[in-house]
Amino acid sequence: MNDQVIQMIHAINKDDITETESVFLVQFIASYLDLKTISDTAKHRGKSFNGIKNFNDKVLIGGKKFIINKL
């Protein structure tokens, strides 16, 4: 991990990060990874929902399943 990531982790652990900064960080990471729901990924790729659901690794965030679309 690089120093900036470590500093951010320490800031989060010490509650030295605002709610707005936390939201921005989550949005940035989701954008970077091109996170999409299973349904949105299926539409984006032109595949069936079940095909995406059954044959792709999923991540669970906030009780919702997402697919990482970053290649």
Backbone angles phi, psi at 68, to 5 degrees: -85, 120
Per-residue model confidence as pLDDT tens digits over 1-59: 688 888 888 888 998 888 898 889 899 999 999 999 999 999 999 999 999 999 999 99
| Separation between Cα atoms, residue 16 and residue 33, nearest integer Å | 25
CB 24 within 8 A of CB 60: no
Domain ranges of the chain: 1-33, 34-71
| Separation between Cα atoms, residue 1 and residue 68, nearest integer Å | 20
Beta bridge partners of 61: 64
Does the pTM exceed 0.75? Answer: no
- Per-residue pLDDT band for 71 (boundaries 50, 70, 90) equals low
